[in-house]
Structure 1
Amino acid sequence: MKKSLLLCLTLLTLSPAAFAVQVGVSIAQMDDVFLSRLRGYVLDQSKTYPDMKVQFEDAQGAVDKQLSQVQNFINGKVDVIIVNPVDTQGTKNMSEAARKAKIPLIYLNRMPSDSKMGDGVSYIGSDEVEAGRLQMEYLAELVKDRKSVNVAIMKGLLSNDATRFRTQGAKEVIAKHPNMHVTLEDTAKWMREDGMNLMNNWLLAGDKIDILSANADEMAIGAAMAIKSNGLKPGKDILVGGTDGGPNGLQAIKTGLLSVTVFQDAKSQAYGAVDMAETAAKGGKVEDIKFIPFQQVTPQNYQQFMTK
């Protein structure tokens, strides 16, 4: 009886944090607009679990920094780790370390290409090839009656599989249209300023561009701004397509800077990752891979996405 009473008193004096689900989250680059939104949604959903405590770290675009952050999470004995990878081909060591420590690891938004899912490692995000296809299918329809169409592709970071697969999806559609040709390709690193500079360089070099296909909205918006500054009209002289469908991209559709974007459901991805973390921490089974569908956004339907 005395032992039971002593145990109860001990439990009552322990800090509530002692019972919390500790989740370590490493974001590839927090100054990225989309990833900043992703982080916000992770935080929002974590608040729905009173027992969950989340620690965020910014990898600042450095693979070694992110690996160190994951190792620190492991040393700190967190219950679950969520990683938005800096480099989708640089995750093997993180996966192996988490498995060895028997700590569930959830990759968010960017699917690793060098780590096999399962055995405590999961992924939640979207099928990036689908994004490229949806974007280019809409643009191809707009130019189907033209004899020759020059397409410039503005890529994200070359270390990201999202860059490779979104470009692949766009090229798959282009290959089905004999009048369309990829004439320019380069990276703008996901950033608006880089997109503006790259488009300026192309236009100043005298390159003929009919369609600008960007792997992300921020680059597309930068490119559209450069088009305007060169005396041309986005949507008329050059069609501009983006991907992500965040607030900036939707506003750009509304104002005519973009002809199309593809909605990437950051909220569902982030919320899903947090839900998976809670389940995994409690010993429940989570999916190895969970895809959240992309959706095409056009001037005709953009308003329905404004509240998502």
Structure 2
Amino acid sequence: MKKLILFCLALISISPSAFALQIGISFSQMDVVFHSLLRAHIIEHAKEYPDMKIQFEDAQGAPDKQLSQVQNFINGKVDVIIVQPVDTQGTKNITAAARAAKIPLIYLNRMPSDSKMGDGVSYIGSDEIEAGRLQMQYLADKVKDRESVNVAIMKGLLSNDATRFRTQGAKEIIAKHPNMHVIVEDTAKWMREDGMNLMNNWILAGDKIDILSANSDEMAIGAAMAIKSNGMKVGKDVLVGGTDGGPNGLQAIKTGLMTATVFQDAKSQAYGAVDMAVKAAKGESVQAINFIPFQLITPENYQKFMTK
């Protein structure tokens, strides 16, 4: 009996932990503010799984580099792969590689348009069209009594589904208002400095802009800085809308630097991705598409989002 107990103890001591989990995560660009929030929340939630090990990689905006990172994850025999894609129209090879290796793949935050979900591949993020609709409807209500309203749309990277669908959602609302017209639109690549430069260019070109609709808060904040530096006032001369609702966006609403934004729940997306990874690794059923709702943020309700 004593020998049996010792043998069992020996087995326990040399066995791996009850559920050791290796996750490989490739981000499109780590230096984007919202992506940094996602990463921080992933790390935060992973602490609840002591045997979870995460390897982060930065694709730095290069689709080929991201594919190579995924192939390295596969060669390293990770249990689950999470990808925030560089190009949502260029994920077929990533999806095919993960399926061939029979490794669960979770797309985070950016939903591929060229890869079908299911069969070991899932998505968690938000319905990007809704963000554009929410933002623009609020701004449209602000100017409904004006005879003519000029709208400028500041886009993110053109390879991203968020750029296309947030812009589409905004334009759907604009189309319902005969007094509203898009006069200029261009990309500021999700970046504050690019947003400031683009807005400066529009102002210096003599474009009379009543509404600036940005696909992200960082671009909106940059645009607002340009508006102020040109002697105009946000909320009076130009209404400024953003999307993301992170700490910088909330502070901008609080100080009057933005008129409205749309809350994209980084915590729920990140936590959800981690939980999905655990379920997938265990062979449990995982929802193919999990949309986290957007929420409108205005000067009237921003305080309730400060603790999210």
Written as runs of structure 1 = structure 2, the 5 A alignment for 1:278-289 is 278-289=278-289
Q: Cα–Cα, structure 1 residues 5 and 101, in superposed 2: closer, same or farther, change >3 Å?
A: farther
Could you tell me how far apart the structure 2 residues matched to 1:233 and 1:20 are? 55
CA shift, 1:14, in A, is 5.1
Query: What per-residue deviation string (whole Å, max 9, x for no partner) do you get for residues 265-284 of structure 1?
Result: 00000000000000111110
Question: 1:64-103 to 2 correspondence within 5 Å?
Answer: 64-103=64-103
What is the CA–CA distance in structure 2 between the aligned matches of 1:115 and 1:90, rounded to whole Å?
Answer: 9
Q: Which residue of 2 aligns with 1:206?
A: 206
Task: Please name the residue that 1:277 is paired with.
Answer: 277
Partner deviation per Cα, 1:141-195 (whole Å, 9 max, x = no partner): 0000000000000000000010000000000000000000000000000000000
SS class of match (2:122) = strand
Give the match for residue 161 of structure 2.
161
| Partner Cα separation in structure 2 for residue 27 and residue 227 of structure 1 | 32
- 1:182 maps onto 2:179 in alignment: no
TM-superposed CA distance for 1:51, in Å, is 2.0
For residues 20-61 of structure 1, the C-alpha deviation after alignment (integer angstroms, 9 at most, x for no partner) is: 111111111111000000001111111111221111111111
1:47 lines up with 2:47 in the alignment: yes
Q: Which deviations, in whole Å up to 9, do the C-alpha atoms of 1:86-109 show, x marking residues without a partner?
A: 110111100000000000000000
Q: Give, in whole Å, the separation in 1 of the partners of 2:20 and 2:240.
A: 47
Letter in 2 for 1:27: F
Name the aligned partner's letter for residue 244 of structure 1: D
1:203-235 residue CA offsets vs partner (Å, 9 max, x unmatched): 011111000000000000000000000011111
Partner of 2:218: 218
Match of 1:267 in 2: 267
Q: 1:15 offset after TM fit, Å?
A: 6.0
RMSD of aligned alpha carbons: 1.5
Distance 1:164 1:227 in 2: 25
- Identify the residue that residue 24 of structure 2 maps to in structure 1: 24
Letter in 1 for 2:88: T
Alpha carbons of structure 1 residues 19 and 141: separation in structure 2 relative to 1, 3 Å: closer
Equivalence for 1:295: 295
Greater shift in the superposed pair: 211-220 or 57-66 = 57-66
2:252 corresponds to which residue?
252
Cα distance in 1 for partners of 2:83, 2:135 equals 27
Is the alpha carbon distance of 1:271 and 1:19 closer, same or farther for their aligned partners in structure 2, counting shifts above 3 Å?
A: closer
* TM-score, reference length from structure 1: 0.97
Amino acid at match of 2:10: L
> C-alpha separation between the residues in 2 aligned to 1:25 and 1:229?
40
Distance 1:45 1:113 in 2: 28
1:129 maps to what in 2? Answer: 129
Query: Residue 10 of structure 2 aligns with which residue?
Result: 9
Shift of 1:9: 2.0
String of CA shifts for 1:78-135, please: whole Å, max 9, x gaps: 0000101111011110000000000000000000001000000000000000000000
Partner residue of 2:150?
A: 150
What code does the residue aligned with 1:9 have?
A
Counterpart of 2:153 in 1: which secondary structure? strand
Matched letter for residue 307 of structure 2: T
Q: State how far apart, in whole Å, the 2-side matches of 1:168 and 1:252 are.
A: 24
Quote the Cα distance in structure 2 between the aligned partners of 1:19 and 1:235. Answer: 53
Per-residue deviation, residues 227-248 of structure 1 (Å, max 9, x unmatched): 0000111111000000000000
Distance in 1, matches of 2:99 and 2:91, equals 12
| SS of aligned partner of 1:43 | helix
- Unaligned runs of at least 5 residues, structure 2: none
Query: Post-superposition shift, 1:13?
Result: 3.1
Which residue identity is paired with 1:59?
A: A
Aligned mates of 2:90, 2:36 — CA distance in 1: 21
Q: TM-score if structure 2 supplies the norm length?
A: 0.97
State, as a whole percentage, how many aligned pairs show the same letter: 79
Distance in 2 of aligned mates of 1:189 and 1:147: 32
Q: Aligned pair count? A: 307
Distance in 2 (CA, whole Å) between partners of 1:98 and 1:275 is 19
Cα distance in 2 between the residues matched to 1:67 and 1:41:
24
Gaps of 5+ in 1: none
3-state secondary structure, aligned to 1:184: strand
Secondary structure at the counterpart of residue 123 of structure 1 = strand
